[in-house]
Structure 1
Amino acid sequence: MEHRHKTSPSRKKFKVVASARKVLFTFFWDMERVVHMEFLDQGQTVNYERYISTLRSLKLSFGRLRSDKDSILQHDNARPHTSRQTQDALRKLERTTLPHPAYSLGLAPSDYYLFRQLKKYLKVHHYDNDEEVIADVRRWCSGRSSEFFADGVRQLVKR
């Protein structure tokens, strides 16, 4: 707050750089690699229909990468993830689902491990458009070793 005389001109605020847009993506990973990743178009939101579509794509990715059905799927408790329709789709996916305690953001492995590392990497780069961000995120993910992903799962067990 600053004290000024009534007749003093108001301060002008200049925007030096346009605000960065956000790129939203859905991401599934296991102890070895990224299993499935989808980027949302600008303005698109995640509702249960969109999430069910993602789960169908995930099932195809599982089919290509894993023959076993011993995978455990953990996701947070956002509304699109907990709807009745989503729960039905998860049963059709035929994967065990690890329940996520209410409001326990510290348990989501992507939040405390993977996204923290990705944010550190992206922070020092400048992108002109969404396609560059998406390409760099894909490149970063494919450059992680299986040990990187295994460490994230091990840390979840500790938490």
Structure 2
Amino acid sequence: MHEPHGPKRLSDIVTGVETWYPFFIIPPKRPNRMWVDWKGDRPVVLRPGPQIRKRMFTVFFNYSGPLVVDILPQDTTMTATYYVQNVLSQVKSAINEQRPKVSASRTLLLHDNAGPHKARATTQPLRGLGIQFLSHPAYSPDLAQCDFWLSPILKDRLAGRKFDRIQDLAKAVNSELRTIPEEDYQDVLRKWQIRLKRCIESHGGYFEGL
């Protein structure tokens, strides 16, 4: 579908995911690695507890860069109604503003198989607009651009920084999204294409080297 002369264009893909962002992201383990004497104690590495303060962000991007950053209100659950009315409505507006002369039927929506994404309350309104869905294999975060690329990059860049207010955390997330070059957003879609090919070649089996 997405080959150079295929019927679909990578530039038509819009992808997004929900991710929890703590107000303090503990740095990853790798920088804390060190050699110790066999009698020595291992260095103490902090781990996030279950009660850590955090908020859910939904981030959508396409070939040109970030489109939408939505913050789920505190003490609220992500539902199909919220997803359609608050998230996808922003995505649709952002696409129309960015590509006013392009039909909605050209949009290829790629998100994972979370309940709010697959609910009838979500799929029916989008089909009514002519928006096409790209299927995503279950339990395959290695095939989701947000999971294997965007979310790890953002959390790595925010690691070690403490935020007291949601406004400060949101400002930092938005700022980091916009410092990522447009070429990187385009490159990750090409890498996604390579991963799909490797998955097909391995008949859905396990593989390494990406």
Choose 1 or 2 for highest CA Rg: 1
Q: In structure 2, what is the Cα distance between the partners aligned to 1:115 and 1:28?
A: 11
Structure 1: gaps spanning 5 or more residues:
1-17
Aligned residue for 1:149? 185
Aligned residue for 1:57? 90
**Pair 1:25 & 2:61 matched:** no
Q: In structure 2, what is the Cα distance between the partners aligned to 1:75 and 1:110?
A: 9
Q: CA-to-partner distance for each residue in 1:93-136, whole Å, 9 max, x for gaps?
A: 43221011122222111010001100100113121222111110
Percent of aligned positions that are identical: 30
Query: Shift in Å at residue 150 of structure 1?
Result: 0.9
Q: Which has the higher strand share?
A: 2
**Pair 1:132 & 2:165 matched:** no
Question: Matched residue of 2:77: which SS?
Answer: coil
* Aligned positions, number: 143
In the superposition, the TM-score normalised over structure 1's length comes to 0.82
Question: What does 1:14-93 correspond to in 2, within 5 Å?
Answer: 20-53=52-85, 54-67=87-100, 68-69=102-103, 70-93=106-129
Q: In structure 2, what is the Cα distance between the partners aligned to 1:22 and 1:48?
A: 21
Q: In structure 2, what is the Cα distance between the partners aligned to 1:94 and 1:140?
A: 32
Q: CA-to-partner distance for each residue in 1:19-70, whole Å, 9 max, x for gaps?
A: 6411211111011111112111111111110111121221111111123242
> What is the CA RMSD across the aligned residues, in angstroms?
1.8
Structure 2: gaps spanning 5 or more residues:
1-48, 196-210
Q: In structure 2, what is the Cα distance between the partners aligned to 1:113 and 1:91?
A: 28
Deviates more, 1:143-152 or 1:91-100: 91-100
